[in-house]
Amino acid sequence: MSDSTESTDPNDTGGIDDAGGGPPRDPTLRRPDGGTTVLEDDRDAELDRGPFQRWVANSISHPERVYRAMFYVAAIFFLVTTLFPFYWLLMVALTPEGQLQDIVFTPNGFNPGAFVEVFEVIPFHVYMFNSFVIALASTVVVLVIASLAGYAFGRLEFPGRTPLMLLVLVISFFPPAAFFIPLNDLFNTSFVFLEPVTGDGTLYNTPFALVTPLSAIFMPLAIFILTTFYGQIPDGLEDAARVEGTTRLGALFRVIIPLSAPGVATAGVLTFIAVYNEFFFSFLMTDGQPENWAPILDGILAYQGQYEVLYNLMAAASILGVIPVAILVVIAQEKIVSGLTAGALKE
């Protein structure tokens, strides 16, 4: 408390001297009028102010307390808003069917069997597999193409580089819905040359109907990330690789990409999560049947029948669907951190 009483003094230096709790200073030095004011001492000054004023003065002299308080407030806010839905989802999943009213903090009953039931009612594992394949394929496509683009944008000088990069970024600002109708039309059109691949010659109800547009939509961000990383690899390393016997492409895959592992991991994880979580195209580019490459989204909605909605199973399926992404993030985080600490380059 001694800190706060001292800090009400108008001549306080801002709490720097007070922190040490050193010997009391000469009072005349602290009072320009020699101590003749009506406020005889610190105690009187404190009495003169309300608790809010005291708090304000205290905050001004010790801003770090306010910052810490703000940090906790913000952190708790974000934790609650992000984690409470999962908690609530778990409560819903654990509640037996038919007792789903008024769930707040505890489940009405205990039914872990819902996590098994989700696979019995519909083949949810097939939906998960579909989503996983689609997300993985999109990530591979994005990483390969974005690596080549990132190499060009990050390491080569060519006319129109900046305008082209801007164009790529502008594409990422388009609302994906704008592409939907033409794409849907295109994917429902039969092409003879696709017949050996898809049977009827259309891309609808195939993974390509999802992988193609989703790769394109999430490509610009990956290009941007990889451009930054590849641009930072010293030219000498690429030159060395080329003289030693690689092509430019070989240098990219043997030297530049391994050294940019954190960037590649970041781009890959972001793309995977974004595609895995995507709603719009996932919902509309297949007919929702698991054998037609419908993703998790359709699986969750499949618990919604004509006469009843199995909310507890939808909740359980949602939690199961999140698990692969959660695992991926935990693993990738470790990789990203280890990549950052290991990537000390000598320029």
Partner 1 sequence: MSRVRLENITKRYGDETAVDDISLEVEDGEFVTFVGPSGCGKSTTMETVAGLTRPTEGRVYIGDDDVTDLAPKNRGVAMVFQNIALFPHMDVYENISFGLRLRKYDDEEVRRRVEEAADIVQLEGMLDRMPKEMSGGQQQRVGIARAIVRNPDVFLMDEPLANLDAKLRVHMRTELQRLHRELDATVIYVTHDQAEAMTMSNRIAVLNDGRLQQIAPPLVCYNEPTNLFVAGFIGSPSMNFVEGTLVEGGLETNNFTVDLDPSRLPDVAVGDAVTLGIRPEDVHLSSYAESLASSTDRIDARTDVLEPMGDEVFVYLLLSEAATGSMEQDPAASPNQLLMSVTPDTEIEAGQDVDVVLDRSRIHLFDTATGDALVHDITDLPEREPGTTPTEADS
288 dihedral zone (left: phi>0; alpha: psi -120 to 50; beta): left
Q: Is 250 in the site for partner 1 (CB under 8 A)?
A: yes
Contact (CB, 8 A) for 139 and 268: yes
Beta bridge partners of 304: 309
Residue with Cβ nearer partner 1 (125 or 248):
248
Contact (CB, 8 A) for 31 and 11: yes
Residue with Cβ nearer partner 1 (241 or 285):
241
Q: In the complex, what is the shortest distance from the CB of residue 337 to partner 1, in angstroms, rounded to a whole number? A: 16
Q: How many CB atoms lie within 10 A of CB 108?
A: 17
Contact (CB, 8 A) for 311 and 100: yes
Residue of 191, 258, 329, 337 that binds partner 1 (CB under 8 A): 258
Q: In the complex, what is the shortest distance from the CB of residue 332 to partner 1, in angstroms, rounded to a whole number? A: 18
CB proximity list for 318: less than 8 A, separation 6 or greater: 89, 93, 300
Q: Is 337 in the site for partner 1 (CB under 8 A)?
A: no
The secondary structure of 261-315 as a DSSP string is HHHHHHHHHHHHHHHHH--HHHHHSS-S-GGGT--HHHHHHTTB-SS-B-HHHHH
Select the span of 2-10, 147-155, 255-263, 317-325 touching partner 1 (CB under 8 A): 255-263
Select the span of 30-38, 83-91, 135-143, 253-261 touching partner 1 (CB under 8 A): 253-261
Select the span of 164-172, 173-181, 244-252, 287-295 touching partner 1 (CB under 8 A): 244-252
Select the span of 53-61, 233-241, 290-298, 321-329 touching partner 1 (CB under 8 A): 233-241
Q: Is 245 in the site for partner 1 (CB under 8 A)?
A: yes
Burial (Cβ within 10 Å: 0-12, 13-18, ≥19) of residue 9: middle
Residue of 76, 167, 240, 329 that binds partner 1 (CB under 8 A): 240
Q: Which of positions 2-41 make contact with partner 1 (CB under 8 A)? A: none
Q: Residue count at the site for partner 1 (CB under 8 A)? A: 22
Q: Is 265 in the site for partner 1 (CB under 8 A)?
A: no
Q: What is the C-alpha to C-alpha distance for residues 297 and 293, in angstroms, rounded to an integer?
A: 11
Residue of 222, 241, 252, 267 that binds partner 1 (CB under 8 A): 241
Residue with Cβ nearer partner 1 (256 or 317):
256
Task: From 61, 149, 129, select the one nearest 299 (Cα to Cα).
Answer: 129
Tokens found for residue 202: 């259309």
Q: Is 156 in the site for partner 1 (CB under 8 A)?
A: no
Q: How many residues does the chain have?
A: 347
Tokens found for residue 172: 């990422």
Q: Which of positions 84-143 make contact with partner 1 (CB under 8 A)? A: none
Q: Is 243 in the site for partner 1 (CB under 8 A)?
A: yes
Q: In the complex, what is the shortest distance from the CB of residue 266 to partner 1, in angstroms, rounded to a whole number? A: 18
Q: What is the C-alpha to C-alpha distance for residues 62 and 3, in angstroms, rounded to an integer?
A: 10
Q: Is 223 in the site for partner 1 (CB under 8 A)?
A: no
Residue of 146, 259, 315, 332 that binds partner 1 (CB under 8 A): 259
How many degrees, rounded to 5, is the angle at CA 213 between CA 293 and CA 202?
55
Q: Is 246 in the site for partner 1 (CB under 8 A)?
A: yes
Q: Is 345 in the site for partner 1 (CB under 8 A)?
A: yes
Residue of 191, 236, 289, 334 that binds partner 1 (CB under 8 A): 236
Q: What is the C-alpha to C-alpha distance for residues 9 and 37, in angstroms, rounded to an integer?
A: 12
Residues that bind partner 1 (CB under 8 A): 234, 236-237, 239-247, 250, 255, 258-259, 342-347
